[in-house]
Chain A
């Protein structure tokens, strides 16, 4: 797959198409297919067309435009946009229009972004299929009988179905990589701290990270380089290192680790696809090193304990007083707050709030929260040790391909199974590492399989370099029937 951003950039510069025409094409396709795909929660034609017009005027004046200028894109609906409804796909934030912009959106506006709208997600990013959305799940563009993945399902559907050139999602336990993998596209979860979280509505603050979802690796690199900036508003922000200059570097001699534990419980065809990618890397001159990472066995429960604990605190503020939904009927303030929250939050969100409260409450704190923090330290150290031996770690993005619609919430499915489906993605968030998911095949139903390359902290350039070289050698991108054809 080649860079769609460069392709469109060249079309705009050569005046093959105007930015307004381009934007209208995307808006028209969204109009056509959103009912079926449910990718967008809010479409913003006025905003997009005004932004496009400004780009056209700039081009008409003969001024140079940047790579991202005029490229139609979308934001996950947990990224704050001033004056534009931002719902987190929750009833509790219906009608909420932030009075400020998230730093990433500010950065993109400075670069002449065209923002088509806000995309669907699991409610408050809590889910792996996009189905906990108050608005219903986004569908997989490769087969609408299947989910887009989650939580950034809407972005993945929109980008996979060419209803946006790229999108920004957020990844707390796999929410960028897993839907990118399910939809057959590229998703980059940056190092914790590389991209500002200011304006990202928090799920679990010490794990959350914004990143790009794109059709090509180069596009992911372009977008990452544009948003990985130090932000004084975010105390945990550090900014990132540019990835584009080294994207095409030779990968000869690179050491790619495969942790045996990452392959446990992974469906056979997925495992095969990942291992054949490893073979491809070997052919390109990289070295494959198998090793053990036993700490992965407790990464999942410790992640859920910590993420739910932080979430229970982060979601305390939705009380019907300052913004969002407020219960109609109540008796007194306490009753109003409880009713607002019980009516406004969906079932999964309520479960996680309760569980998070439980693990922090007196008598349970030491056994759960404190222990999980210590295990987090052990996982960080385990990855540090691994990276003394290897440059990157290769792993499946998910143990399976996209679920059938409704599967995770059917009566036969154990709720824990939903959590278990995040087994491959969460360790990266636990350790704050960067990882990129790229398509590496399809299953027998034609659903995409994804693999991820995990890097050292702030070493996005190495994982993107390796992902790029693989993509250039084996193009697994499959166009869908949807969206804008250029």
Chain B
């Protein structure tokens, strides 16, 4: 029997606010242990939380960017569980009135992944276990998170991978998170079940917690799919449980211990008041959002007629897309700018990080200027490449490397003179051409180009040579 994978995601994304969600300590990553702490974020008795307005704004941005409905009224709740990394023994989160609900992200295969909800909450501290001793650092405690929960809409590991990439892309575009999985600013829990293909009924699911790379997510899902299928095929049953993935052994194992009873006893956080989001505020935030990658992709492929593969590369990072948008401004063929970016410029950006940062000496306006000169014929195609290399090295504008006469091309007299010189110098080639060898003309063309130091227009030279040879 064939089995279908069914998976859903719960993704924690750390928001890039300057301060923590309920106190004014910095959210900077790293730092010496317990140096980003105050009475509030270590949960000293008597301290009270005060909600960071930026956290609400960022969560709404994330909601709008994933087509969620934004709640008019939201509230904060306590999720009670006792663990040394949680200084108050409850996490302030949102239970039944989250800020955002009912959104979606569309994958390249056209399938929509429904987003059930996005809520705000606080991160926990960090535990370091050493020979049974536990060291606790609360620097990360209280860093704001959004938790993005999807419906169980994934049917393949590839869809899951693409979803995580899309989510990273969107969150980075709107600037609410850097989504660095290796630094823990994005963490995924995946719940997985399997069912016979064609079945509508959901199987028993397991949840794999806290994965910190796309590779691990894919490997863990593949492993867990196989494990569940094997289990069912051998007559067993999947047990609903929470699992951890060990990338060293590529296996999942149960996280449950008899010490954790799971009953979070959610109730309204009495130390915080209601969050009311007026419609006008939502619209204001919507207006402030940049054009999103999906919208840009559509515009590039449909209006600019850029191939999908190229559009994907251009929209991957916001910096590239914005550079391209400016470089392509008012061009008859925006593709020209795209080709320079994906060709010459990309060659200089070796790593993904370089591409993401997109630090290029030539400004988008300078590239735009160059492309416009090409379109107007002031700059010949064959000169553009060299000019751009020099521009990228120096940061200087195109006009610095292309002289007036270069831009004007060759006048007819000079062209005639150069062509006559070539005919005189290469009688064999002339004879071959006359004998029907079309290719021989290329040798003559090369000679003219050399004389003109590349300024001549190849088409015009060919015409002139044919005319002179007769």
A-contacting 9-mer, from B36-44, B54-62, B160-168:
B36-44
Question: How many angstroms from the CA of A199 to the CA of B49 in the assembled complex?
Answer: 12
Question: How many angstroms from the CA of A78 to the CA of B45 in the assembled complex?
Answer: 9
Q: Does B360 sit within 8 A of A, measured CB to CB?
A: no
> Which A residue's beta carbon lies closest to that of B260?
A334
> How does the 8 Å CB contact mask read for A46-71 relative to B, with 1 for contact and 0 for none?
00000000000000000000000000
Q: Does A367 sit within 8 A of B, measured CB to CB?
A: no
Q: Which residues of B contact A235 (CB under 8 A)?
A: 48-51, 271-273
Q: Does A486 sit within 8 A of B, measured CB to CB?
A: no
Task: Choose one: A197, A323, A361; the contact of B44 (CB below 8 Å).
Answer: A323
Question: How many angstroms from the CA of A356 to the CA of B65 in the assembled complex?
Answer: 40
A319–B44 touching, CB < 8 Å = no
B273–A317 touching, CB < 8 Å = no
Q: Which residues of A contact B49 (CB under 8 A)?
A: 235
B49 CB, min distance to chain A CBs, angstroms: 7
Question: How many angstroms from the CA of A205 to the CA of B271 in the assembled complex?
Answer: 7
A419 CB, min distance to chain B CBs, angstroms: 21
Q: Which residues of B contact A93 (CB under 8 A)?
A: 45
Interface residues of chain B: helix, strand, loop or mixed (majority): loop
Q: Does A313 sit within 8 A of B, measured CB to CB?
A: yes
Question: How many angstroms from the CA of A235 to the CA of B21 in the assembled complex?
Answer: 13
A357 CB, min distance to chain B CBs, angstroms: 7
Question: How many angstroms from the CA of A333 to the CA of B48 in the assembled complex?
Answer: 26
Task: Choose one: B42, B78, B273; the contact of A322 (CB below 8 Å).
Answer: B42
A369–B267 touching, CB < 8 Å = yes
B267–A360 touching, CB < 8 Å = yes
Task: Choose one: B39, B42, B51, B270; the contact of A206 (CB below 8 Å).
Answer: B270
B-contacting 9-mer, from A95-103, A148-156, A177-185, A213-221:
A95-103
Q: Does A80 sit within 8 A of B, measured CB to CB?
A: yes
A309–B267 touching, CB < 8 Å = yes
Question: How many angstroms from the CA of A362 to the CA of B78 in the assembled complex?
Answer: 15
Task: Choose one: B50, B263, B265, B272; the contact of A313 (CB below 8 Å).
Answer: B265
> Which B residue's beta carbon lies closest to that of A334?
B259
> Which A residue's beta carbon lies closest to that of B132?
A332
Question: How many angstroms from the CA of A345 to the CA of B136 in the assembled complex?
Answer: 24
Question: How many angstroms from the CA of A93 to the CA of B82 in the assembled complex?
Answer: 18
> How does the 8 Å CB contact mask read for A212-238 relative to B, with 1 for contact and 0 for none?
000000000000000000001111100
Interface residues of chain A: helix, strand, loop or mixed (majority): loop
Question: How many angstroms from the CA of A96 to the CA of B78 in the assembled complex?
Answer: 25
Q: Which of B46, B134, B266 gathers the greatest number of chain A CB atoms within 10 Å?
A: B46
Q: Which residues of B contact A442 (CB under 8 A)?
A: none
- Asked if A319 meets B84 with Cβ closer than 8 Å, knowing A99-B39, A313-B78, A362-B263, the reply is yes
B38 CB, min distance to chain A CBs, angstroms: 8
Q: Which residues of A contact B270 (CB under 8 A)?
A: 204-206, 236, 310
Q: Which residues of A contact B266 (CB under 8 A)?
A: 360
Q: Which residues of A contact B39 (CB under 8 A)?
A: 98-100
B88–A316 touching, CB < 8 Å = yes
Q: Does A198 sit within 8 A of B, measured CB to CB?
A: yes
Question: How many angstroms from the CA of A200 to the CA of B47 in the assembled complex?
Answer: 8
Q: Does B451 sit within 8 A of A, measured CB to CB?
A: no
B50–A322 touching, CB < 8 Å = no
A100–B44 touching, CB < 8 Å = yes
Q: Does A201 sit within 8 A of B, measured CB to CB?
A: yes
B46–A201 touching, CB < 8 Å = yes
> How does the 8 Å CB contact mask read for B291-314 relative to A, with 1 for contact and 0 for none?
000000000000000000000000
Question: How many angstroms from the CA of A204 to the CA of B47 in the assembled complex?
Answer: 13
> How does the 8 Å CB contact mask read for A188-210 relative to B, with 1 for contact and 0 for none?
00000000011111101110000
A322–B44 touching, CB < 8 Å = yes
Q: Does A321 sit within 8 A of B, measured CB to CB?
A: yes
Task: Choose one: B50, B80, B132, B268; the contact of A233 (CB below 8 Å).
Answer: B50
A42 CB, min distance to chain B CBs, angstroms: 16
Q: Does A337 sit within 8 A of B, measured CB to CB?
A: yes
B146 CB, min distance to chain A CBs, angstroms: 20
Task: Choose one: B132, B259, B263, B271; the contact of A236 (CB below 8 Å).
Answer: B271
Q: Does B87 sit within 8 A of A, measured CB to CB?
A: yes
B27 CB, min distance to chain A CBs, angstroms: 19
Question: How many angstroms from the CA of A362 to the CA of B273 in the assembled complex?
Answer: 25
Task: Choose one: A198, A206, A316; the contact of B90 (CB below 8 Å).
Answer: A316
A333–B84 touching, CB < 8 Å = yes
Question: How many angstroms from the CA of A337 to the CA of B87 in the assembled complex?
Answer: 13
Question: How many angstroms from the CA of A236 to the CA of B50 in the assembled complex?
Answer: 10
> Which B residue's beta carbon lies closest to that of A360?
B265
Q: Which residues of B contact A369 (CB under 8 A)?
A: 267
Task: Choose one: A197, A234, A323, A361; the contact of B263 (CB below 8 Å).
Answer: A361
- Asked if A232 meets B50 with Cβ closer than 8 Å, knowing A205-B271, A313-B80, A362-B263, the reply is yes
> How does the 8 Å CB contact mask read for A357-375 relative to B, with 1 for contact and 0 for none?
1001110010001000100
Q: Does B89 sit within 8 A of A, measured CB to CB?
A: yes
B46–A202 touching, CB < 8 Å = yes
A321–B47 touching, CB < 8 Å = no
Question: How many angstroms from the CA of A201 to the CA of B49 in the assembled complex?
Answer: 14
Q: Which of A99, A235, A369 gathers the greatest number of chain B CB atoms within 10 Å?
A: A235
Enumerate the 6 nearest inter-chain pairs by beta-carbon distance, A residue then B residue, closest first. Answer: A316-B89, A206-B270, A360-B265, A205-B270, A201-B45, A199-B46
Query: Which B positions have Cβ atoms within 8 angstroms of A?
Result: 39, 42-51, 78, 80, 82, 84, 87-90, 132, 134, 136, 259, 263, 265-268, 270-273
**6 cross-chain CB contacts under 8 A:** A86-B45, A100-B39, A235-B49, A313-B90, A361-B263, A361-B265
